[in-house]
Amino acid sequence: MPHEVIMPALGMAQDTGLIVAWHKAPGDAVKTGDVLFEVETDKATMEVEAQADGFLNQVRHHAGQDVPVGEVIALIGSTAEAVETGDAPVTAAPADATALPAGHNVIMPALGMAQDTGLIVAWHKALGDAVRASDILFEVETDKATMEVEAGVDGFVAALLAEAGEAAPVGETIAVISAKKPENAVKVSRAGAPAPAAPPASVQPAPKPEAKAAEPNTPARKPSAPVRADRRILASPKARRLALEQGLDLNRLVEAGYAQPYHAADIDILKSLPAETGATVQAASRRLTAELVTDGFAAFADWAKKHAELGDASALLAGLAAGSLARDHATIAVESFGQSRCYSVPAGPLNGITRADPDIAADLHLRDLRMSPITCVALGAEEAPVLTLTRSGAGLSITLECASHHLTAAQAVALVSEFAGRMEQPLRHLL
């Protein structure tokens, strides 16, 4: 079955994308990771990579065309048969689309170039609720971050097409917002079968059986859920921020059997858990520092500019930092001279680094304070790990600050050690 290439959503409020140029022609062979086309939004121009191996069989929209987010713009097939067409594209739709009310379709956004699906952490609005364009509609988690997504338009929630805890493909409609309050709001399962909407507010629900009284000073427990295989914790940005500010460890909720995702209200449960005994409680934050006698990066940046046409020193720093994370792809935010730039860094040569949408959550923040008089930092953990570069005599000082749920102790040590080695001898990154 051919792989559909859709117009990605590179920002929360993006409705369309302008195709700047195609890097492949119909019939060309493509591999996963090849730059397929360039798209421009009101914020940036981005290169979009192919997400499947094969051949570019069909191009439905050409350079210069403005295409709605979520529309199919090309097909990648298993044979070299090329069919170039300008036919109207086919958009993904739920199985029972005829049962859906008219209105604005809310799609699963693409928060990264290599993202195929997004996991809905929680809905912030219910069926029939009034929403404004700036209201938070739902939270979505990818393999990189958890993000809050705004409604985008004013209106009423007329349909919800996915449950919290379900993964939906990028570009698929997951909700409908209508201009008028719907008389019959609908809820559609992932299989496409409509489910009855929630009863109107005027209807009193049947009383629930009285629950067994809880033990004194013991919070009500959520239904237990299995721990994710990748050990990631599903939590809203607000819950993560409150846990960091109060020095709390979300892992304790997991160990106590409370079901994810966690929200701000769960922080009270976390605070009420009895103190651990017989073992040292895992620290809520980590801080490591490495001192380098010599700075090898400055000379490397000059060489890269003169001989490799790599003149963006911040991009080079992002490449060294991403290489230290030992991932196939990473998004690095580099802060220097009061400005922040976000970079998409694939594994491989440094010339593959591109600018990323600043709205995308970074895997790592890198603060370059080498030109500042600041020589020591202790700012505390933030929503992503932070590496800070400061001067130390003729060398450098590298400080990592992160929360315990961002990196294990072993991962934190490995990150600082690898990055320090690359800053001292940048050519090791090219080996």
The whole-angstrom separation of Cα 350 and Cα 115 is 22
The whole-angstrom separation of Cα 79 and Cα 76 is 9
Averaged pLDDT, 30-48: 79
Count Cβ neighbours within 10 Å for each residue of 270-308 and write b for 16 or more, e otherwise: beebeeeeeeeeeebbbbbbbebeebbbeebbeebeeee
CB 423 within 8 A of CB 320: yes
pLDDT in tens, 173-192: 888 899 888 877 666 655 44
Which has the minimum average pLDDT: 24-38, 198-212, 219-233, 310-324? 198-212
Averaged pLDDT, 197-203: 40
Choose among 24, 71, 87: nearest CA to 52. 24
Question: What pLDDT, on the 0 to 100 scale, is given for residue 154?
Answer: 92
Choose among 365, 364, 363, 345: nearest CA to 355. 345
The whole-angstrom separation of Cα 115 and Cα 5 is 12
> pLDDT exceeding 90 applies to what percent of the chain?
20
Host H or E run for residue 254: helix 251-255
| Whether pLDDT at 419 is above 90 | yes
3-state class of 398 per DSSP? strand
Question: What pLDDT, on the 0 to 100 scale, is given for residue 42?
Answer: 64
Question: What pLDDT, on the 0 to 100 scale, is given for residue 43?
Answer: 59
| Whether pLDDT at 367 is above 90 | yes
Question: What pLDDT, on the 0 to 100 scale, is given for residue 200?
Answer: 39
If pLDDT is split at 50, 70 and 90, which confidence band does 258 have? confident
User: In the structure encoding, which two tokens stand for residue 101, read together?
Assistant: 């009310």
| Whether pLDDT at 158 is above 80 | yes
Q: Give how far the C-alpha of residue 177 lies from the chain's centroid of Cα atoms, to the nearest Å.
A: 24
If pLDDT is split at 50, 70 and 90, which confidence band does 409 have? confident
Question: What pLDDT, on the 0 to 100 scale, is given for residue 316?
Answer: 94
Count Cβ neighbours within 10 Å for each residue of 176-201 and write b for 16 or more, e otherwise: bbbeeebeebbbbeeeeebeebeeee
CB 50 within 8 A of CB 97: no
The whole-angstrom separation of Cα 25 and Cα 12 is 30
The conformation of residue 124, written as its DSSP 8-state character, comes to S
Cα radius of gyration rounded to whole Å, the chain: 24
pLDDT in tens, 119-151: 888 888 888 889 998 888 888 876 556 778 888
Domains and CATH numbers, the chain: 3-77 (2.40.50.100), 97-195 (2.40.50.100), 237-282 (no CATH), 286-430 (3.30.559.10)
Mean predicted lDDT score pLDDT of the chain = 78
HEC string for 287-350:
EEEEEECCCCHHHHHHHHHHHCCCCCHHHHHHHHHHHHHCCCEEEEEEEECCEEEEEEEECCCH
Question: What pLDDT, on the 0 to 100 scale, is given for residue 297?
Answer: 92
Question: What pLDDT, on the 0 to 100 scale, is given for residue 111?
Answer: 65
pLDDT in tens, 82-132: 554 444 433 344 444 446 778 888 888 776 555 677 888 888 888 888 999
The whole-angstrom separation of Cα 364 and Cα 386 is 6
The conformation of residue 227, written as its DSSP 8-state character, comes to P
- Distances 43 to 9, 119, 147, 307, 426 between C-alpha atoms, Å: 12, 25, 18, 31, 32
Residues belonging to the chain: 431
- pTM for the model stands at 0.42
> pLDDT exceeding 70 applies to what percent of the chain?
76
| Whether pLDDT at 343 is above 90 | yes
pLDDT in tens, 259-305: 777 777 788 898 888 876 544 444 468 899 999 999 999 999 999 99
If pLDDT is split at 50, 70 and 90, which confidence band does 315 have? very high
Question: What pLDDT, on the 0 to 100 scale, is given for residue 365?
Answer: 94
If pLDDT is split at 50, 70 and 90, which confidence band does 251 have? confident
First CA to last CA distance, the chain:
39
Averaged pLDDT, 373-398: 90
Give φ, ψ of 299 to 5 degrees. -65, -35
Question: What pLDDT, on the 0 to 100 scale, is given for residue 143?
Answer: 59
Question: What pLDDT, on the 0 to 100 scale, is given for residue 353?
Answer: 93
Averaged pLDDT, 57-61: 84
